């Protein structure tokens, strides 16, 4: 089962408690669901990661980690699941969110003015005003669509993990049952 494979990469309770780098969090990171690979914790971690992956800006992993601690779901899974958004996928996802928002609100698409791009764009101080202007131009349909798309992805991911987990467990049970039957049919060992 894949859970046994991934278990060796996760820290133990003792190593978390002894780690000085995260000691200032106190006991917030000591809950067992934050680090164990069980059905509900992993499904919740996937849902949190998929939801927070659409958070605008570079705080996706941080927001996923905070939400995972609050909801007591698997923290590493939540952080890793935000990686589906990257420079290649974020534009199509945001466009889909905008179109979804237009569909839900019933608004007509408006021509969004492109921000002027100059050589100084490499200065991070200019990113936030440009992002704010772009988001203001997209308006209500974009924000509503973003929330809806993030929710749809989170719910879909949650139930996909639960379904996949159930299939893996039932397949493992069938394999064990098959082996037991084969052993019984082959007779006692000499």
Q: If you write DSSP's letter for every residue of the chain in order, what string do you get? A: -HHHHHHTTSPPHHHHHH-STTGGGGGGG--GGGT---HHHHHHHHHHHHHHTTSSSS-HHHHHHHHHHHHT--HHHHHHGGGG-STTTHHHHHHHHHHHHHHHH-PPP-PPPPPP--GGGGSHHHHHHHHHHHHHHHHHHHHHHHHHHHHHHHHHHHHHHHHHHHHHHHHHHHHHHHHHHHHHHH----
Per-residue pLDDT tens digits for 146-157:
999 999 999 999
Overall pTM > 0.75: no
Per-residue model confidence (pLDDT) at position 142? 84
> Is pLDDT larger for residue 27 or for residue 177?
177
Per-residue model confidence (pLDDT) at position 155? 95
Per-residue model confidence (pLDDT) at position 1? 47
Least confident of 6-15, 59-68, 94-103: 6-15
Per-residue model confidence (pLDDT) at position 86? 84
What's the chain's average pLDDT? 78
Per-residue pLDDT tens digits for 15-68:
555 565 555 466 666 566 677 788 898 999 999 999 999 887 778 888 898 898
């Amino acid at each position: 089962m894949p859970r046994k494979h991934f278990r060796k990469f996760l820290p133990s309770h003792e190593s978390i408690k002894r780690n000085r780098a995260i000691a200032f969090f106190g006991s917030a990171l000591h809950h067992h669901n934050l680090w164990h690979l069980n059905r509900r914790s992993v499904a919740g971690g996937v849902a949190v990661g998929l939801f927070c992956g659409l958070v605008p800006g570079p705080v996706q992993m941080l927001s996923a980690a905070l939400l995972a601690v609050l909801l007591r779901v698997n923290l590493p899974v939540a952080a890793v699941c935000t990686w589906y958004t990257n420079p290649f996928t974020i534009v199509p996802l945001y466009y889909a969110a905008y179109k979804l928002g237009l569909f839900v609100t019933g608004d007509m698409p408006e021509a969004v003015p492109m921000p002027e791009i100059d050589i100084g764009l490499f200065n991070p101080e200019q990113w936030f005003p440009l992002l704010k202007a772009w988001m203001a131009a997209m308006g209500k349909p974009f924000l509503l669509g973003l929330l809806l798309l993030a929710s749809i992805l989170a719910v879909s991911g949650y139930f996909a993990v639960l379904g996949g987990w159930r299939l893996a467990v039932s397949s493992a049970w069938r394999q064990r049952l098959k082996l037991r039957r084969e052993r019984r049919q082959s007779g006692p060992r000499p």
